Amino acid sequence: MTQRPDSIKFYTVHVIVAVITLACLLMNGPMRGGLPLDNTVAERMAFIASNGLLWSLSWFVWMLSAIGLFVFCAILADELNRGVYRTIGIGLVGMGIAPDLIAEVTYAFIIPEVIARQVDSHTVEVLEIIAIHLTGFLGNGLYNLGGLLLTCLAISQGVFRSWVALWGISAWILGLLLSLSVAIGALKAAELFTASSMVLSTAWMLVFAWKVLRR
């Protein structure tokens, strides 16, 4: 028997949430020593050099998360009426994938290669700054602007109940605050907004699956 499309989408959302959750756990655990948080460039370089495979595989999970977020937004958009704003919303999310993946490839493969060639720490630091702005500011900003627009459309079309809508809007706004924090170089605030937005958004994805896709 063929599954109904909504059933396929329902389970797909759960897989996406699992991948994003794994990525967040990796970032808060095994990857942390290589991130620009409470350490020096030299310490980060030493960590990445000693944990190359783990570092690259962890960033690969983040690449899957980026694709998963786009798939989720496509599922959300599929619940909406066709129109220019829906196209703009999913288009913004799609545009966010390019800078995000470029940043993650930089972290996963280019920075380790540069470290292996014993290039000076200044070069590594510049690459880090470029990558964090590509993913944290540009990619993340486009994701959240697109997601916010799609959620507002869902509210206007009666797809969500009020509390589900408020939950989704809060998650996207926290994501935009993350982008702002990266833009002004407030990495501690960016860490806080990353954690809060990820927890809120992944939980909201599950609420969306159970309240909308499982009708």
Phi, psi of 30 (to 5 degrees): -60, -30
| Burial class of residue 163 in the structure, from the number of CB atoms within 10 Å of its CB (0-12 exposed, 13-18 middle, 19+ buried) | exposed
| Burial class of residue 40 in the structure, from the number of CB atoms within 10 Å of its CB (0-12 exposed, 13-18 middle, 19+ buried) | exposed
pTM (two decimals): 0.92
Ranges of H-type helices in the chain: 5-28, 41-50, 52-78, 84-105, 111-116, 121-132, 140-156, 162-183, 187-208
Q: Determine the residue type at 102.
A: I
What's the token pair of residue 41?
């460039």
What's the token pair of residue 19?
């991948």
pLDDT in tens, the chain (215 residues): 444 557 899 999 999 999 999 999 999 899 999 998 889 999 999 999 999 999 999 999 999 999 999 999 999 999 999 999 999 999 999 999 999 999 999 999 999 999 999 888 999 999 999 999 999 999 999 999 999 999 999 999 988 877 888 899 999 999 999 999 999 999 889 989 998 999 999 999 999 999 888 86
